[in-house]
């Protein structure tokens, strides 16, 4: 795992080697083992290395092909690199190293841009072709590894994190108001936007080429749900078990210490079970707990650790959240508000004390329908089909309005349900899962902000993804939607930033392209079966895990947010939200923020989710908005 950065001179002179080094130094945490730069009259490339495969100096980047035609900076891991290397070596390619980086160079030399279809891994790389004087930048299929780019009339640059782009001179920091609205709806900024107008994300499964004629972006992969398997559940379960085990074994290849995150949930427990079954030595496992029992899963993690005799390590998040929060949030260089970023940072910090690579269960929920929201969505769809469209469209919104003035949780849930039922399924899915409803936004947002936004609404992100899906049913379409939005924009950003903050590589076998493509062929009724979430994945793990792990109520990586705002982080939050607010005052009516704060402190309502988003926005603003 590493960090990459660079720029082109096609539109104007962006800088020299010292500027490249400054970009690399800003993301030192992503690769503390080595750094390097390459520059010519057209481009500059910078790299920070976290050595995982081939620890010798041969793996240092930027790396040049044996004939000097191609230069690359690469972040990630290619899990099938050895197979590709053997094929290319047999065809006569003269390899100099044992790295997966050189395999990308060799494959490009033989197949050009088409080589992306053969790479199985998590990656972001930039490859300079001296023969065509063209820069190719690519990002992996699921979006595990980040890639941002800056584009103006006179500037083009790219980096693993925005902070590297902000080291360049004269980078405009204009804020995208639609991205701000998106953030408060989703708790992250969805690609291809970033919070800055002139900085963008390269979407997962895409690559771009940059030369003297300009910038061109192409999609090279998408997941299709249209080919549903007609094989039996028993056959598909066996295939899934074998495939998941194979992908886990692939990710256990490392020249540095390797372990696993273990939450005690189905996905991480299954991954640990597969690792232990295929390891000659005890697997190192790491878990995070909380003092509040309803947020603490460590007893279940211990059960799995004991069953597989792992080398188990635990850390409990006590009263030290406020002391660490500003440091943790600084690793996100655009607003990000998933509260589980806190335990993810601590479990990464704990794991890094033991290992350099951790394997995790990320992706199981999005790929196999594991979230509670899918249960809620199924219930809403059943109700939606019970009422005539005329009643849903005209009566339900009026009933929802009657509940709008109450902060009581039951009334707020009732309002959300009625609003969702009045809408079509895609919009209903957005409404139920949005972190801010239209009425809250209208009260909070300043008039000039609403006028500048015009008719823009964040639901466009959800609806566009839903409508692009070729899935045969509603569940397939919302799984596709989450794979294209919540997974790369939320889950994978959180894991990447918090693990790389601790110079830790995290691998996710359940997000292997073969697992994802296989899952897309599994009928929806085998994923969500009679109200049971992740049914087929649980069946695949059944020989490995006890029933109390497989079938207990899902907790997720939750935190006691409501309590934090009244105790642990109260002073810090009050300072940022009430006393010294800057960014928030540019977006929201301050008196409305104060009202939310007071209602929460008085116990009259639980506004913790919205207050947390506000706190994350304000802390980001202070750190990054003005330089």
List, by residue number, the catalytic residues: 2
Rounded Cα distance between 331 and 29, Å, is 10
Cα atoms found within 13 Å of the Cα of residue 452, Cβ hemisphere only: 14
Helices (H) then strands (E): counts for the chain? 30, 17
The half-sphere exposure of 43 on its side-chain side, counting CA atoms within 13 A, is 27
Q: What is the C-alpha separation between 426 and 476, in angstroms, rounded?
A: 12
**What is the full DSSP assignment across 176-239?**
-HHHHHHHHHHSS--TTB-SBTTEEEPPTTEEEEEETTEEEEEE-----------S-HHHHHHH
Instruction: Classify residue 554 by its DSSP letter.
Output: P
Strand order in the sheet with 505-507: 311-317, 284-290, 258-261, 357-359, 505-507
Task: Specify which residues 358 forms β-bridges with.
Answer: 259, 506
Instruction: Answer for the pair 175, 107: CB distance below 8 angstroms, yes or no.
Output: no
SS3 string, 271-284, reads HHHHHHHCCCCCCE
> What's the Cα-to-Cα distance from 512 to each of 4, 106, 500, rounded to whole Å?
23, 23, 20
Tokens of residue 524, six digits:
């929806």
Q: In a 3-state reduction of DSSP, which class is residue 543?
A: coil
**Cβ–Cβ under 8 Å, residues 260 and 359:** yes
Kindly provide the b/e burial profile for residues 232-255, where b requires at least 16 CB atoms within 10 angstroms of the residue's own CB.
eeeebbebbbebbbebbbbbbbbe
Q: CB atoms < 10 A from the CB of 257, how many? A: 13
DSSP labels for 295-343? G--HHHHHHHHHHTT-EEEEEEE-S-HHHHHHHHHTT-SS----TTHHH
Nearest 10 degrees: CA dihedral of 412, 418, 419, 425?
Answer: 130
**If we measure between CA atoms, which residue out of 9, 10, 11, 29 comes closest to residue 19?**
9
Three-state SS at 398: helix
* DSSP assignments along 14-44, one per residue: ---HHHHHHHHHHTGGG-BSEEEEEE-SSEE
């Amino acid at each position: 795992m590493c960090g990459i950065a660079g720029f082109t001179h096609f539109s104007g002179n962006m800088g020299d080697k010292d500027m490249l080094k400054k970009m690399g130094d800003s993301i030192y945490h992503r690769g503390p083992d080595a750094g390097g730069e390459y520059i010519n009259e057209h481009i500059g490339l910078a790299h920070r290395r976290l050595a995982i495969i081939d620890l010798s100096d041969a793996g240092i980047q930027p790396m040049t092909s044996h004939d000097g035609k191609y230069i690359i900076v690469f972040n990630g891991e290619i899990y099938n690199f050895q197979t590709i290397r053997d094929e290319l070596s047999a065809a006569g390619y003269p390899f100099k190293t044992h790295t997966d980086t050189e395999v990308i160079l060799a494959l490009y030399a033989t197949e050009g841009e088409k080589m992306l279809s053969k790479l199985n891994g998590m990656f972001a790389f930039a490859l300079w072709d001296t023969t065509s004087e063209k820069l190719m930048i690519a990002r992996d299929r699921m979006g595990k590894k980040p890639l941002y780019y800056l584009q103006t009339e006179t500037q083009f640059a790219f980096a693993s994190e925005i902070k590297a782009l902000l080291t360049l001179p004269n980078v405009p920091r204009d804020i995208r108001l639609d991205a701000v609205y998106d953030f408060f709806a989703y708790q992250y900024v969805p690609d291809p936007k970033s919070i800055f107008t002139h900085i963008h994300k390269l979407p997962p499964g895409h690559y771009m080429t940059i030369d003297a004629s300009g910038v061109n972006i192409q999609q090279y992969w998408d997941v299709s749900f249209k080919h549903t398997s007609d094989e039996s559940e028993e056959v598909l379960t066996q295939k899934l078990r074998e495939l998941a085990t194979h992908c886990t074994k692939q990710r256990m290849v490392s020249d540095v210490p390797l372990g696993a995150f273990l939450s005690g949930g189905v996905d991480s427990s299954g991954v640990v079970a597969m690792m232990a079954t295929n390891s000659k030595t005890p697997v190192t496992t790491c878990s995070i707990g909380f003092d509040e029992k309803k947020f603490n899963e460590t007893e279940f993690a211990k059960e799995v650790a004991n069953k597989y005799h792992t080398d188990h390590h635990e850390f409990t998040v006590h009263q030290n959240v406020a002391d660490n929060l500003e440091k943790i949030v600084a690793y996100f260089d655009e607003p990000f508000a998933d509260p589980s970023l806190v335990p993810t940072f601590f479990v990464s910090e704990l794991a890094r004390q033991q290992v350099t690579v951790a394997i995790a269960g990320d992706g199981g929920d999005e790929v196999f329908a594991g979230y509670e929201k899918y249960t809620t969505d199924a219930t809403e769809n059943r109700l939606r089909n019970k009422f005539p469209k005329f009643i849903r469209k005209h009566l339900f919104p009026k009933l929802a309005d009657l509940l709008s003035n109450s902060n009581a949780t039951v009334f707020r849930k009732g309002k959300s349900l009625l609003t969702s039922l009045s809408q079509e399924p895609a919009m209903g899915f957005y409404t139920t899962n949005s972190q801010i409803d239209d009425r809250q936004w209208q009260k909070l947002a300043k008039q000039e902000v609403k006028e500048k936004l015009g008719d823009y609404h964040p639901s466009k992100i959800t609806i566009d993804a839903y409508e692009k899906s070729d899935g045969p049913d509603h569940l397939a379409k919302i799984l596709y939607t989450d794979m294209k939005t919540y997974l790369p924009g939320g889950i994978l950003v959180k894991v990447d930033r918090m693990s790389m903050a601790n110079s830790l590589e995290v691998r996710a076998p359940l997000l292997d392209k073969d697992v994802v493509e296989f899952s897309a062929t599994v009928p929806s009724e085998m994923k969500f079966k009679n109200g049971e979430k992740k049914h087929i994945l649980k069946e695949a793990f059944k020989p490995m895990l006890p029933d109390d792990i497989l079938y207990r109520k899902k907790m997720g990586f939750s935190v006691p947010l409501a309590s934090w705002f009244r105790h642990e982080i109260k002073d810090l939050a009050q300072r940022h939200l009430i006393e010294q607010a800057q960014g928030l005052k540019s977006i929201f009516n301050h008196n409305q923020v104060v009202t939310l704060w007071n209602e929460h402190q008085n116990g009259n309502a639980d506004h913790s989710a919205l207050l947390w988003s506000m706190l994350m926005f304000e802390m980001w603003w202070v750190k990054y908005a003005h330089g």
